[in-house]
Amino acid sequence: MHGLLRSILLRAAEVVLGAALSQCGATRPDSARGLVRRLTDEVLRGGLSGDALLDRIVTHAGHQVDADRRALYEHCSRAIAQLVNTCPEFALTTATPGTPLYDTGADRGGIGLAGLEALLLECAGGQEAYAVGRGRLRDPIAALDSAGPRLPSLAQGYVNPRFRLADWDKQSGRDSGVASDKWWERRASYDTIEHFFAGYLLGLPALLSPLVVLGDPGAGKSLLTKLLTARLPIAEFRPLRVELRYTPAEADLQKQLEHALWRATGRSVCWPDWSEAEPGVIPVVLLDGFDELLQAGAQRLDSNRHWGYLREVERFQRREAELGRPLIVIVTSRTVVADHAEIPYNSQVLRLEPFGEPEIERWLAIWNKTNADYFDRHGLQPLLLDAVLPHRDLAAQPLLLLMLALYDAVDNAQHRLHDEDLSRTQLYDRLLTEFVRRQAEKDGPLPPAEAAAAVERELHRLSVVALGMFHRGAQAISSEEADRDLSALSRATAGGTELLFGRFFFVHEAQAVVEEERLRSYEFMHATFGEHLAARLIDGALRRLTDARSAAPGAPLNDGELYALLSFTPLTDRAQLVQNLRDRLQAWSVDSSTGLVPRLVGLFRNAAWGPEHRADVRYTPVRQTRTYRDAVYEGNLLLITVLVAGKVYASQLVDGEGDLIGNWRRHAMGWQAQLSPSSWELLTSTLIIDRCAQPPDLLISTTYTPRDHNELRWPKRLPDLYVSSVVDLIGRVMFTADADTDLLLHHSYPLLSRFPRAAAPANDGARSPAQLLLALLIKDVIPPMTLPGLYVKCLDQAVSLPPDEAVHYLEAVLRQLVHDAPAMPDEDLALVLSGLNKVVMQCLSGRLTPALTELLVPCVRGAVERASPRLRDVLASLRPHFESYDLRGLTRLSRSSHTWRWAGFPHGDDAARHLDGLLAGLNLQEAAARRPAALVDLLRLAVELDLHDWLSAHTSEILDALPAEAFGLLRPSDLRPLRAVLQKGAYEAQFREVEWVWRGATPPVGTPPPRCPPA
pLDDT greater than 90 at residue 658: no
Evaluate the CA torsion angle 812, 818, 819, 822 in order and state its sign: positive
Percent of the chain with pLDDT over 70: 80
Contact (CB, 8 A) for 349 and 215: no
Contact (CB, 8 A) for 757 and 801: yes
Residue type present at position 394: L
pLDDT digits (tens, 9 = 90+) for 890-935: 666 666 667 777 777 778 888 888 888 888 888 888 888 888 988 8
Give the contacts of 111 (CB within 8 A, at least 6 positions apart).
155, 156, 157, 158, 159, 160, 362, 366
- In the structure, what pLDDT confidence band is assigned to residue 621 with cuts at 50, 70 and 90? very high
pLDDT greater than 90 at residue 536: yes
Q: What is the pLDDT of residue 174?
A: 45
Q: What is the pLDDT of residue 582?
A: 93
Q: What is the pLDDT of residue 170?
A: 44
Percent of the chain with pLDDT over 90: 26
697 or 887: which leads in pLDDT: 697
Interval 937-961 mean pLDDT: 89
Interatomic CA distance for residues 721 and 715, integer angstroms: 16
Helix axes 803-820, 769-777, angle to 10 degrees: 20
| 836-874 CB burial, b ≥16 within 10 A, e <16 | bbbbbeebbeeebeeebbbbbbbbbbbbbeeeeeebeeb
Interatomic CA distance for residues 627 and 417, integer angstroms: 45
| pTM of the complete model beyond 0.75 | no
Q: What is the pLDDT of residue 163?
A: 94
**What's the mean per-residue pLDDT of the chain?**
81
Q: Three-state DSSP class for 41?
A: helix
Interatomic CA distance for residues 351 and 343, integer angstroms: 14
Contact (CB, 8 A) for 258 and 270: yes
pLDDT greater than 50 at residue 1010: no
pLDDT greater than 70 at residue 510: no
- In the structure, what pLDDT confidence band is assigned to residue 754 with cuts at 50, 70 and 90? confident
Positions of CATH 3.40.50 in the chain: 114-123+158-353
Burial label for 642, CB within 10 Å (0-12, 13-18, 19+), is buried
Interval 631-660 mean pLDDT: 89
Q: Which helix (H) or strand (E) holds 680?
A: helix 677-686
DSSP 423-460: -HHHHHHHHHHHHHHHHHTTTS---HHHHHHHHHHHHH
Interval 48-56 mean pLDDT: 51
Interatomic CA distance for residues 495 and 832, integer angstroms: 80
Strand ranges (E), 294-432: 328-334, 349-352
Strand ranges (E), 791-924: none
Give the sheet arrangement for strand 349-352, strand by strand: 189-190, 163-165, 349-352, 211-215, 328-334, 282-288, 237-243
Strand ranges (E), 191-259: 211-215, 237-243
* Residue 326, preceding peptide bond in cis (omega within 30° of 0): no
Interatomic CA distance for residues 90 and 1, integer angstroms: 13
pLDDT digits (tens, 9 = 90+) for 856-882: 888 888 888 888 889 889 888 888 877
Range scoring the smallest mean pLDDT among 101-110, 565-574, 688-697, 842-851: 101-110
Contact (CB, 8 A) for 407 and 430: yes
Range scoring the smallest mean pLDDT among 433-442, 726-735, 812-821, 981-990: 726-735
- In the structure, what pLDDT confidence band is assigned to residue 1014 with cuts at 50, 70 and 90? very low
Range scoring the smallest mean pLDDT among 267-276, 501-510, 739-748, 990-999: 501-510
Give the contacts of 96 (CB within 8 A, at least 6 positions apart).
37, 38, 40, 41
pLDDT digits (tens, 9 = 90+) for 568-587: 999 999 888 999 999 999 98
Q: What is the pLDDT of residue 1013?
A: 41
Interatomic CA distance for residues 913 and 949, integer angstroms: 11
In the 8-state DSSP scheme, what is residue 153? B
Evaluate the CA torsion angle 589, 454, 405, 217 in order and state its sign: positive
pLDDT greater than 80 at residue 141: yes
Contact (CB, 8 A) for 459 and 566: no
| Beta-bridge mates of residue 189 | 164
Output the CA torsion 577→579→580→586 (10° steps).
140
Interval 268-277 mean pLDDT: 92
The class that CATH gives domain 114-123+158-353 is alpha beta
Contact (CB, 8 A) for 422 and 447: no
Q: Which of 441, 452, 390 shows the shortest CA–CA distance to 417? A: 390
10 or 871: which leads in pLDDT: 871
pLDDT greater than 60 at residue 500: no
Interatomic CA distance for residues 837 and 863, integer angstroms: 14
Interval 682-693 mean pLDDT: 85
Interval 548-566 mean pLDDT: 80
Residue type present at position 28: R
Contact (CB, 8 A) for 922 and 957: no
Interatomic CA distance for residues 33 and 29, integer angstroms: 8
Interatomic CA distance for residues 642 and 647, integer angstroms: 5
240 or 302: which leads in pLDDT: 240
pLDDT digits (tens, 9 = 90+) for 195-242: 899 889 988 889 999 999 999 888 889 999 999 999 998 888 999 999
Contact (CB, 8 A) for 455 and 433: yes
In the 8-state DSSP scheme, what is residue 130? P
CA 933 → CA 675, 964, 990, distances in Å?
62, 13, 16
Q: What is the 3-state secondary structure (H, E, C) of 563-584?
A: HHHHCCCCHHHCHHHHHHHHHH
pLDDT digits (tens, 9 = 90+) for 766-793: 778 888 888 888 887 767 678 888 898 8
Range scoring the smallest mean pLDDT among 24-28, 655-659, 987-991: 24-28
Burial label for 106, CB within 10 Å (0-12, 13-18, 19+), is buried
Q: What is the pLDDT of residue 417?
A: 64
Q: What is the pLDDT of residue 628?
A: 93
Measured from the Cβ of residue 486, the count of other Cβ atoms closer than 10 Å reads: 21
| 366-377 CB burial, b ≥16 within 10 A, e <16 | bbeebbeeebee
Q: Which of 404, 637, 419, 408 shows the shortest CA–CA distance to 529? A: 404
pLDDT digits (tens, 9 = 90+) for 147-190: 778 999 999 999 999 999 997 654 444 456 888 888 999 888 99
Q: What is the pLDDT of residue 50?
A: 45
- In the structure, what pLDDT confidence band is assigned to residue 65 with cuts at 50, 70 and 90? low
Q: Which of 400, 424, 423, 405 shows the shortest CA–CA distance to 415? A: 405
For 513, phi then psi, to 5°, come to -105, 115
Interatomic CA distance for residues 69 and 74, integer angstroms: 9
| 300-314 CB burial, b ≥16 within 10 A, e <16 | ebeeebbeebbbebb
Interval 429-452 mean pLDDT: 79
Q: What is the pLDDT of residue 29?
A: 47
Give the contacts of 789 (CB within 8 A, at least 6 positions apart).
none
Contact (CB, 8 A) for 569 and 634: no
Interatomic CA distance for residues 558 and 566, integer angstroms: 14
Range scoring the smallest mean pLDDT among 34-43, 553-562, 940-949: 34-43
Q: What is the 3-state secondary structure (H, E, C) of 170-191?
A: CCCHHHHCCCCHHHHHCCCEEC
440 or 816: which leads in pLDDT: 816
